[in-house]
A and B are shown apart, each in its own frame.
Chain A
Amino acid sequence: DIVMTQSPDSLAVSLGERATINCKSSHSVLFSSNNKNYLTWYQQKPGQPPKLLIYWASTRESGVPDRFSGSGSGTDFTLTISSLQAEDVAVYYCQQYYSTPYAFGQGTKLEIK
């Protein structure tokens, strides 16, 4: 099974500053046949289900603000929020869908400094 590990576990960033969350998989999630990384990012606010932000490691879901961006390939990935807004306070999860069982990282709690 693929294990996903995020860092840090929590992060405090000032409004307007950049936030960076890292995700590492125990196995490459890059499919050589289509050169796509099977890695998603979700945002979960208190009392709500997760919301899909990014798929294929770097493609934003429709309606997601462009301050959110994903990068990386193979086993190392990053979610970047370029200018933190108050509404971005949440827990963020990465998830691999390269193979079942699908697996999530443990989550990164993002707060305002």
Chain B
Amino acid sequence: QVQLQESGPGLVQPSQTLSLTCTVSGASISSGGYHWSWIRQHPGKGLEWIGYIDYSGATNYNPSFKSRISISGDTSKNRFSLRLNSLTAADTAVYYCAGDPDTSGIGTFDYWGQGILVTVSS
């Protein structure tokens, strides 16, 4: 059973950089076919895909985040991370990590972490 767990700060100051980590168990992040995404949900709102890193380390980002984001992987610890800089209050959201085994096309989110609420405030 693939499980994901987000970790990171719950409160970040405006203009600072958010760093979140997703630790994966039950699958290797370098397993062929897997794509590992970050998705966020503003309070009481819908879902927004941020980007992914795949099993080879290749990344794909949502252009709406322009150059503010980077996603990286650490195969030695079987985890992947999100960095989002120049934070504003609009980045306040629950951040989820999700796993896609590419068994039904790349882009389905079969596995999810429980989510971490990040508040941007001074």
A residues in contact (CB < 8 Å) with B: 1, 36, 38, 40, 42, 48-52, 55-56, 59, 61, 93, 95, 97-98, 100-107
Contact = CB atoms under 8 A, between A and B. Distances in A.
Contacts of B62: 100-101
B112 A50 contact: yes
Interface of B: 46-49, 60, 62-64, 96, 98, 104-110, 112-115
Nearest to B47: A104
Nearest to B63: A101
Given A50-B112, A107-B46, 9 more contacts: A36-B105, A38-B107, A42-B109, A48-B114, A49-B115, A52-B110, A98-B107, A100-B49, A100-B107
B105 A38 contact: yes
Contacts of A95: 47, 107, 109
Nearest to A100: B60
Given A49-B96, A49-B112, A52-B110, A101 B105 contact: no
Contacts of B114: 48-49
